[in-house]
Amino acid sequence: MSDATEPWLIVGLGNPGPEYAANRHNVGFMVVDLLAERIGGKFKRAQKAQAQVVEGRMGPPGPENRRVILAKPMSYMNLSGGPVTALRDFYKVPTDHVVAIHDELDIDYGTLRLKLGGGDNGHNGLKSVTKSMGADYHRIRFGIGRPPGRMQVADFVLKDFSSTERKELGYLVDRAADSVECLLAEGLERAQSAYNS
């Protein structure tokens, strides 16, 4: 584990604007919105980056309590790297203390996978972040499944969750937020064994 005093930057990937708010591609925003609610913070415009941020602390009192910056890049998904890197540098966050929460086509709806480093798997947000600051950051992959029939991937990720999916969405976003708290308090291996399905 790194120094417990170093801050963590928790980034939800998504697109800004009300028309995208409920899209599958914006599940990262949904998770950081819930985390902000949990720590009693309100998003405000970042000083040095095109992003909205909440600063606070997460975890129980004592050695597991972590300083966190929750962030939503306001640059559109495929340009996420610039704001994420600017926030990392401004807050002096080690790259392995950056966590990107994003939608993932290649795993079933609602399945979570936590990992450190790796490829972008064709995800434009991850591609931009990795190009900007390297690949050695944590990812929380939130499964959205593959598009049905012949629907294009771009159309699928920019559609809202279906009514069937929405029945479970609150629970799944809650679970993803729990996985972030577990990662920060107990480390990657513990979080993987508890939340990877």
CA 30 to chain centre: 9
Strands 112-116 and 138-143, by their bridges, are antiparallel
Spatial neighbors of 92 by CB under 8 A, at least 6 apart, are: 7
Tokens linked to 146:
């593959």
Nearest to 35 by CA among 153, 197, 182, 191: 182
Catalytic residue among 25, 97, 123, 138: 25
Q: Is 102 a catalytic residue?
A: no
Helices (H), 72-162: 81-91, 124-133, 153-157
The set of catalytic residues is: 25
